[in-house]
Amino acid sequence: MIDSPKHQGLRNRLAEALKEKGIVDNAVLDAIRVIPRHLFLDSSFEGFAYQDKAFPIGAGQTISHPYTVAFQSQLLRVKKDDKILEIGTGSGYQTAVLVAMGARVYSVERQNELYKKTSYLLPRLGIRPKLMTFGDGYKGLPGYAPFDSIIVTAGAPFIPQPLMEQLKIGGRLIIPLGEEVQIMTELVRINETQFEKYEYGDFKFVPLLENKN
Ligand code: SAH
């Protein structure tokens, strides 16, 4: 678990590259500069950790591209102490970025293997989400709702109703929608019954799965 000046240099370069690709939220770029992404990957991928690439993290899942993490984090418009629900903990990298931005993060992962691995890793790195839990993200976390915002980090075939219900008024849900390719979608809760929808282009995610393995 070594984080060296060389890694720091690579992270600074990654943040610059993301800025050139259009990421303008400085809190997001600062978090990218701070979180040691190489420690979230198997050591065989360590040399590539600061390229803008997705990699396998076990259990058939991938850590999202840094650009995707930065783009979703920017769409969340995180304010300090925001209470954020994340669906799809995976490697915990996105979780760590949101915690570094000052959010109170509640994260759900449906694969026990990944849940266990990541809930062991994050505290060792000094990163403390409010809650990491093993469960089905389609249901959200009704016991902890409402949330200032919700981020889904797997491709969803439709918007799960419970996630809409668990948003505060004025809160936003960021969710990649679609089967083969996903459209990054933002849903803002206007009042009890109305939502405004915005779309931000195509992305590629592993699927949000319904049945537990
Ligand atoms: N944010 C993660 C992305 C991991 S990929 C990272 O940066 O590493 C998407 C994750 O969503 C996988 O870990 C997958 O197991 C998880 N997932 C898929 N369906 C889910 C569901 N219904 N509920 C919760 N997590 C789910």
Q: Judging by beta carbons within 10 Å of its beta carbon (0-12, 13-18, 19+), is residue 33 exposed, middle or buried?
A: middle
Residues with CB under 6 A from ligand 1: 57, 61-64, 69, 87-88, 90-91, 93-94, 108-111, 114, 136-138, 153-154, 206, 208-209
DSSP 90: T
What is the residue with the minimal CA distance to atom 10 of ligand 1?
88
91 in catalytic set: no
Confidence at residue 211, expressed as pLDDT on a 0 to 100 scale: 63
Q: Is 144 exposed, middle or buried (0-12, 13-18, 19+ CB in 10 A)?
A: middle
Given the residues 64, 73, 91, 119, select the one marked as catalytic. 64
Cα of 5 vs centre of ligand 1, distance in Å, is: 31
In this prediction, residue 29 carries a pLDDT of 98
Residue 142: the pLDDT is 98
- Structure confidence at residue 200 (pLDDT): 98
Pocket probe mutation, ligand 1, options 28, 53, 61, max atoms within 8 Å of Cβ: 61
Query: 210: CA distance to ligand 1 center in Å?
Result: 11
pLDDT value for 97? 98
For residue 213, the model assigns a pLDDT of 47
Helix, coil or strand: residue 173: strand
Q: Each residue's pLDDT tens digit in the chain (213 positions)?
A: 799 999 999 999 999 999 999 999 999 999 999 999 999 998 888 888 999 998 898 888 999 999 999 999 999 999 999 999 999 999 999 999 999 999 999 999 999 999 999 999 999 999 999 999 999 999 999 999 999 999 999 999 999 999 999 999 999 999 999 999 999 999 999 999 999 999 999 999 999 998 654
pLDDT value for 47: 84
Question: ∠ CA(121), CA(89), CA(29), 5° rounding?
Answer: 85
152 C-alpha to ligand 1 centroid (Å): 8
Among protein residues, the one whose CA lies closest to atom 14 of ligand 1: 88
Q: How far is the CA of 70 from the centre of ligand 1 (A)?
A: 17
Q: Residue 43 class from Cβ within 10 Å (0-12 exposed, 13-18 middle, 19+ buried)?
A: exposed
CATH architecture of 59-203: 3-Layer(aba) Sandwich (3.40)
